[in-house]
């Protein structure tokens, strides 16, 4: 099957810029790819994304948030990721299951065993071949993210939340060095991209 590549990191580390640059890089090489994102990636999952990112008067339970993330993921895997990989198309996903461990697990305190179980249930064996993790000092990243006009429900969290999220991402990367490529997001954009494209040569 063709490679499945995911992009992770807290808000403000330049993840979306790297995703776009990677897509261009593949296009230049005449490689067919599908550029997608989570939560979202299918019409129904995009509706779940809108609900998940919006602010609500009612308190959203970590359990509810987790289940909706995985509901969106199940749709995304079955209707976009798997069919693309089967058809010989590379898949680039802006976030995937590592985000659920980092945000819902480490960030919100949801039992990691529950997340592990939901991952097995929803992703039908679809595991990324390569995961780029962009890291930067949390305060710096948040400063960048908060320049955006309107902050969504996640972007409105406090520094300590994102410290837990980034620490957990790094723990996961240390456990799976073969899959993760950790990149210092404070490097120049061209250097970040050069590291990423070099790593892709080994796919
Ligand atoms: P993000 O890629 O940051 O969207 P944008 O850059 O357009 O703001 O993703 C939206 C949010 O969803 C992000 O704050 C992290 C969160 N998220 C989770 O909490 N768990 C998950 O499993 C996923 C995929 C995303």
**Category of 154 on φ-ψ map: left (φ > 0), alpha (ψ -120 to 50) or beta:** alpha
User: pLDDT tens digits for 75-127?
Assistant: 999 999 999 999 999 999 999 999 999 999 999 999 999 999 999 999 999 99
The whole-number pLDDT of residue 112 equals 98
Check residue 8 and give its pLDDT.
98
Nearest Cα to Cα of residue 95 among 133, 129, 61: 133
| pLDDT on residue 66 | 98
Tokens of 38: 């989570």
pTM of the predicted model as reported, rounded to 2 decimal places: 0.98
Residue-wise pLDDT for 148-177, tens only, equals: 878 999 999 999 999 999 999 999 999 999
Q: Is the CB of 4 under 6 A from ligand 1?
A: no
| Residue to mutate (ligand 1; options 65, 67, 80, 103; most atoms within 8 A of CB) | 103
- Ligand 1 neighbourhood includes 70 CB (under 6 angstroms): no
Q: Is the CB of 157 under 6 A from ligand 1?
A: no
């Amino acid at each position: 099957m063709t490679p499945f590549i995911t992009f992770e990191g807290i808000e403000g580390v330049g993840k979306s810029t790297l995703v776009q640059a990677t897509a261009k890089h593949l296009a230049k090489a005449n490689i067919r790819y599908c550029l997608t994102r989570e939560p979202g990636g299918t019409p129904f999952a995009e509706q779940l994304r809108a609900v998940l990112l919006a602010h609500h008067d009612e308190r959203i339970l970590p359990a509810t948030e987790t289940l909706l993330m995985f509901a969106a993921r199940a749709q995304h895997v079955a209707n976009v990721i798997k069919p693309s990989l089967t058809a010989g198309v590379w898949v680039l996903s802006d976030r995937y299951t590592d985000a659920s461990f980092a945000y819902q697990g480490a960030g919100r305190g949801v039992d990691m065993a529950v997340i592990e179980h939901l991952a097995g249930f929803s992703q039908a064996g679809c595991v990324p071949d390569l995961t780029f993790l962009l890291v930067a000092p949390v305060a710096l990243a948040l400063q960048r993210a908060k320049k955006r006009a309107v902050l969504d429900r996640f972007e409105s969290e406090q520094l300590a939340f994102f410290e837990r999220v980034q620490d957990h991402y790094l723990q996961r990367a240390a456990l799976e060095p073969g899959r993760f490529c950790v990149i210092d997001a404070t490097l120049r954009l061209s250097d970040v991209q050069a590291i990423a494209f070099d790593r892709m040569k080994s796919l």
